[in-house]
Structures are given as C-alpha cells and as structure tokens.
Structure 1
Amino acid sequence: MKLPDFEAWAVFAKVAETGSFGRAALDLAVAKGTVSKAVGRLEARIGARLFNRTSRTLALTEAGRAALAGAARILAEGEAAEASATASASEPRGRVRLAAPMSFGVMHVAPLLPAFLLQYPGISVDLHLGDDLIDLVGGGFDLGLRIAALADSSLRARRLCTVHRSLVAAPAYLDRHGRPGHPHDLSGHACLGYAYLPVPDRWRFIHADGAEAVVAPEGPLRANNADALGPALRAGLGLAVQPDFMLWEDLRDGRLERVLPGWSPPPIALHLVSPPGDPRPARVTALVGFLARSLSAAPWARNAQISNAAHTKSV
C-alpha cells in the first residue's frame, strides 16, 4: 500500500487558501512549477481535476471542494507538528553528560553548576570526574573539558584559555634547600611528581629566550591526582610542576612561590571538546556557552593571559 502524498495534499491546500499557484509557491518558498507538479500528481492519482483553471481564474472543482477540508487539516497539522518539534529542539532540555579532570572539576566546574541549573531548569548534568583520558564517543559523553596541548582528532574543540603551569615550592623548602637557578639544578632537589603528565618521568622547561631543558625528577611522592601533591608542597617537602588553577591563591598569599623565573613548562590550554557532528542539541550548546563564559573569566585564567602577554613581550 502506498502512503498518501502528504506533501502534495498540503500544497493543494495552500493553493486553495491563496487562490493562486504563484502565491502558494511564494508562501511555500518553492518554484511555481513544483506547485503545479504536486497538484498534477494528485489529480493523476485520484483520477479527477481539483481545479478549473483559466488564464485569469482558478476555481475548485467538486472533487476539489470535497477534498479541501482534509487537505487543510494535513497542512495545519503538519505546520503545528513542525513548529512544536522546532520549539522542542531549540529549548534547552534534557541531560548533558560532561567529563572533566578530577581536581579541575571539583574546584572549578562543580561550583559553577548550581547557577547553570538555576538558569536552565530543563537541563540536568551528569558530571564524570577523572584524570584518565576519556573516550567521549565510546563513553556516550556530550562534552568534555581537557587541559592539554590537543592532538589532532575528529573531536570538535573550542579553546577557552591558556593554562599557565609553574614549578612551585613553599618558601620554607626553598630557604632550607636553596632556590635553583636552572632546571639542571633540580637534580639535587626533592621533586613531587604527577603521574598523568605526557611523560611523567621527565620535566621539560622552555626559557623566554627559546632555550630548552629536560630533567628527570626524583622525590618522595608521586600521585595520579594533582590535589594529592598540595599538602606535601605546602609542608615544604619538595617542588612540583602545578597549574595555576590549582594554586593561584597559594601564590597570591605567599604560601607557595614560583621557582626558576624565566623558565616554564610547554604551554597548554583548557579546551571544550565534543563528538563530531551538527547540529548540537540546544542543551549542549547552552552548557558550552555557559562554561566558556565562566571559565575564561576566572581569576587564574586572567592571570595566565597576563603572564603570557608579559612573556611574549619579553621574547
């Protein structure tokens, strides 16, 4: 059984409504010939003319008058269904699955979510925190936050801000063991390591003049979560490479200080990544915009922009 030609019946109803093939074509944003062919298909299918046409007039036949009420309902219900679907698709509603690094997620993403959920009551967020690299597509995630120099991939990525990293230590540690002047001096220091660095047993530094140095850190503690290094750092047990978003308040208040001025690890950035494909659901677009605005305006992000500007100027 063939389905009814719903498109042609809707076109017929529009012609009857406007009284003109040309005006119907304008309303439907199609060519006049498309309208004529649709009506012609119907007439061939039912075996009767729907309009009496002359060069000046267009009038419904008896068959056309009999069919008009049903055709008008098809047109009206189709327009209503499309309007409803469009509104539903554009209104942010539903669940967003978001993956983020553990420490960053706890410190800087979770505190933002109450304001987001109040602003978008139709959206719920499933937040997954972990420092291992998440497969967004395989894991069914809508969105991820990644802090890295991103490798090429099929994922869509939006760079939010630079993440400045520094070698830091407590002043008490540096007073006891001295302040290294070059990365190679770190061979005599206690180094606290982060296991999820791209190469965890090597620290690479770049000087403002372009020179590079690579060292093999050794020390009493290594962890797969950056938060776990904080107590040992503040207790003066060693030095560590840490991002500003972890310790900008410690640096501001003097509990920690930057070591090796002029040297820094290779640049990385905070990115929002999502599976490929368009269009994004409205709920995902809403969270992308909210996180982008909020995170790029964070104090540690502004400090990184200032530091980068100063570094660029010095180079």
Structure 2
Amino acid sequence: MAKLPDFEAMAIFAKVVEQRSFASAAQDLALSKATVSKAVSRLEERLGTRLFNRTSRRLALTDDGQRLSERAIRLLADGEEAETEALAQSVVPRGLVRFAVPMTFGVKKIAPLLPAFLEQYPEVSIDLHLSDATVDLIGEGFDLALRIARLPDSSLIARRLCAIPRYTVAAPSYLKRYGRPTHPMHLAEHKCFGYAYLATAGVWHYTNAAGEQASVRPAGQLRVNNGEAVLPAVIAGLGIADLPDFIIGDAIASGQVEVILKGWTQAEGAMHLVMPPGGPRPARVEVLADFLVRELVKGRKGRAAQA
C-alpha cells in the first residue's frame, strides 16, 4: 500500500520557506526549533534530496527545494483555508440540517415554527423528512429527529421534551349504535382501527388507578400508517381509535368524538429529540435543537396552563 505524503513535514517546510528561518518558523508554529529541523530532515530523507543549503548565517533553497517550495506553500495555504472554513462552519450556523419528524406532528406543530427559525438563521437550510416510520439516523444521514414513543435503549443521544397523552375515542353515533365499552377487554367485541407503527405490534395495553392491567388486540376495517388518516372514519362513527392528543384533541373539544375507558390509560409516550452519538455537533444542528427544545417545551407549558 502506498504511503500517504508527509503533509505535516511539507507544511513545516513551507513555513520555513515563508519565514526564511527555522527559528522564526518554529515560533510561528509554536514548535521547538528541533521539531522543525527534524521535520525538514525527515522530508529530505523521504525525497532523497537536500532542500536547503544551510550555514550559520544563511539559509538558501536548493534547486529541488525551490521546485518543491511552490507546491508546499500552496498546500499550506489550502490547508489553512480549509481549516478556517471548517472552523467558521462550526461557529456560525450555516448549511443543511436533515431533520426527521412524525408526519402529523410535523405538519401541525413543527412546520408553523420553522419560519421564525429560518428568519433568525438565514444561512441554515432544513431538509424536513415527514414520516411516521422510524428512520435510521446514522444509516440515512439524519442530523436529528423527533420521536414520540417510549424509546428503547440505544446509542442515540435523546432528550425528553414532554409527555404525549393518548385517548381512546369513539364518535357519539358509534357509541349509540354499538354501546360504550367500559373495560379494555370489551374492545375485542368492537370495531377498532389499527396503526401500523404501534410499538407493541397491534396490542393496546391499559392500566387503571388500582394497578390492574389489561391487554387487547383489537381488530377492524381500517389500518393506517399515519394517525390523522383515521380521523374521518372515527368521526363518521365507523369505529374506535386510540390517538395522541395532538391529533384527536380538537375533535374531543368540539364533541365530534368522546373519550371512552376513562378509568384506564395506555402507557403514555413522550416526545424526544434524538441525535446521533458523538460530537461536537455543527452549530447549525445545535441552534435548531435548542430552538426546538425552547419552543416545544414552552408550547407544552402554555397548554398546561390553559387546561
């Protein structure tokens, strides 16, 4: 396997040429004079030629040194420029952020926040991926994601933002026609709508205040991969659904649907901001994460105060 060029020695050589002195180059690089001298000697040995003619009073490039110096100086300048640009990227929020969000929550809650963020950070752009499917942040190259669930243990960095209540609901017309279930096990006798990305594979788990637990695998005519898609069928009185409050809250408030099984609750999920492990993260990712935490937590506190 071919060895990589000795870029460090090349850059030190270029700095010596630029400063016309080993001592001055060492001072500029915050290195010892011996380290600078060894780097140049290492480069000469690798190339099999002398680069400088040195006396106690004078330092002069050889012909080979003169030819190499032009490229070495250009290499040093390119490296310094690349490092400067990278440092600027890490300090000034700039560039693309790939952000994955559940479909309905993204449309209802995240999209309305983005104009204020984009106005505040005009050099940041966002690739917003809307899907209820769980994306592979690392494998698919996402910078961050929102997940509404009980997160399993993983290497991802996760920050819990707030709880997401869920309600089991039915339209008044459905309850009038088929009766009101009073125990989770009664759901097996009812028409229920399924959700494709349920963490427990189609099983609804309930607990009451006494600690009693019940699990049921409901069935019905409709199964969806986005919770909002089931709303028309629920409101039309065709079945029962279990949905988060950001989807069903307005329909509950308007009386289009009613909460049933009030003495029972499904395990409450939570909203998490998740990011790949490692760091430091680019400024563009940090400012978006901080913005989301601030706005979503503030919004949740505002709704709690109104309740």
**TM-score tier after normalising by the smaller chain length:** 0.7 to 0.9
Structure 1: 5+ residue stretches without partners: 53-60, 65-73, 308-315
Distance (whole Å) between structure 1 residues aligned to residue 306 and residue 207 of structure 2: 18
Shift of 1:5: 6.5
Which residue in 1 is equivalent to 2:273? 272
Closer/same/farther in 2, CA of residues 83 and 135 from structure 1, 3 Å limit = closer
In the aligned structure 2, how far is the partner of 1:176 from the partner of 1:100? 37
The alpha carbon displacement at 1:35 in A equals 6.7
1:38-49 to 2 correspondences below 5 Å: none
Question: Measured at CA, do residues 210 and 35 of structure 1 come closer, stay the same or move farther in structure 2, by a change above 3 Å?
Answer: farther
CA RMSD of aligned residues (A): 4.1
Q: Distance in 2 between matches of 1:125 and 1:105?
A: 13
1:102-139, Cα deviation, whole Å (9 max, x unpaired): 22222222222222211111111112222222222222
Cα offset, 1:167, TM superposition: 0.7
What is the rounded CA distance, in whole Å, between the counterparts of 1:137 and 1:75 in structure 2?
33
Residue 240 of structure 1: CA displacement?
0.8
Are the aligned partners of 1:204 and 1:265 in contact in 2 as well (CA < 8 Å)?
A: yes
Shift in alpha-carbon separation, 1:5–1:198, aligned structure 2, 3 A: closer
Report if aligned partners of 1:155, 1:273 keep a CA contact under 8 Å in 2.
Answer: yes
How big is the shift at 1:174?
A: 2.8
Do the aligned residues in 2 keep the contact of 1:248 with 1:300 (CA within 8 Å)?
A: no
The residue that corresponds to 1:207 in the other structure is: 208
Q: Secondary structure at the match of 2:238?
A: coil
Q: Is the alpha carbon distance of 1:135 and 1:75 closer, same or farther for their aligned partners in structure 2, counting shifts above 3 Å?
A: closer
- 1:300–1:101 Cα change, 3 Å: farther
- 3-state DSSP of counterpart to 1:277: coil
- Shift, 1:175, TM fit: 3.9
Q: Which residue of 2 aligns with 1:103?
A: 104
Name the structure 2 match of 1:155: 156
2:263 aligned partner: 262
> For the Cα contact (< 8 Å) 2:12–2:40, is it kept in 1?
no
Partner of 1:182: 183
2:89–2:282 Cα contact (<8 Å) kept: no
Secondary structure at 2:193 match in 1: strand
CA contact (8 A) 2:162 2:300 kept: no
Q: Deviations over 1:166-221 (max 9, x none)?
A: 11122333344433222122233221221221234321111233221011212232
* Structure 2 residue aligned with 1:246: 247
Counterpart position of 2:297: 296
What residue is the counterpart of 2:92 in the other structure?
A: 91
Shift of 1:237: 2.0
CA contact (8 A) 2:100 2:146 kept: yes
Tell me how far apart the structure 1 counterparts of residues 78 and 202 of structure 2 sit (CA, whole Å). 66
What is the rounded CA distance, in whole Å, between the counterparts of 2:227 and 2:233 in structure 1? 11
More deviation in 94-103 or 75-84? 75-84
Q: Which runs of 5+ in 2 are unaligned?
A: 45-50, 61-74
> Which shifted more, 166-175 or 114-123?
166-175
Instruction: State the partner residue of 2:70.
Output: none
CA distance in 2, matches of 1:302, 1:41: 64
Identical columns (%): 47
After superposition, the Cα gap between the structure-2 partners of 1:35 and 1:224, relative to the gap in structure 1 and judged at 3 Å, is same
1:71 maps to what in 2? none
The one-letter code of the counterpart of 1:192 is F
Aligned length: 289
1:245 Cα offset (Å): 1.2
**1:244, 1:300 within 8 Å by CA — same for their partners in 2?**
no
Deviation at 1:229, TM superposition (A): 0.8
Superposed displacement of residue 147, structure 1? 1.4
Partner of 2:169: 168
1:2 Cα offset (Å):
6.3
TM-score, structure 1 length as denominator? 0.72
TM-aligned CA distance change 1:78 to 1:223, over 3 Å = closer
